């Protein structure tokens, strides 16, 4: 499916830094606190099979910030950590890889 540049411009994508990370017991989920510069968000991410809390703590990540919040396993998720490798890729044995900035972009920097 093709989208227009106007569609892409509706996405709010920013650099964030993971400042807290914990596994949600009995799930494949990590509960993260992400510093976005002007605010901190809680994000629930299905990456616990591939990343431990220690591996992701203090890591700069790319975050979709204007995704409608939703409750996942009783926890509110206020965005999405972006990664290369989706469900279809996992079926082929490709592990999700977090998208990270190349260099020192401050928290809250907009991806465009």
Write out pLDDT tens, residues 69-108.
Answer: 999 999 999 999 999 987 666 667 778 899 999 998 999 9
pLDDT digits (tens, 9 = 90+) for 6-38: 999 999 999 999 999 999 999 999 999 999 999
Cβ atoms of residues 38 and 108 within 8 Å: yes
DSSP 43: E
Q: For the chain, which domains are there? A: 5-102 (2.40.50.140)
């Amino acid at each position: 499916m093709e989208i227009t540049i106007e569609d892409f411009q509706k996405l709010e994508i920013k650099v964030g830094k993971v400042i807290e990370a914990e596994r949600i017991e009995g799930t494949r989920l990590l509960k993260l606190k992400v510093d976005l510069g002007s605010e901190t968000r809680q994000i629930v991410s299905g990456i616990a099979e591939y990343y431990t809390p220690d591996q992701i703590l203090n890591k700069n990540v790319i975050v979709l910030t204007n995704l409608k919040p939703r409750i996942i396993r009783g926890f509110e998720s206020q965005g999405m950590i972006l990664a290369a490798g989706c469900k279809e890729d996992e079926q082929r044995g490709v592990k999700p890889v977090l998208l990270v900035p190349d260099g020192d972009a401050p928290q809250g920097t907009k991806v465009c």
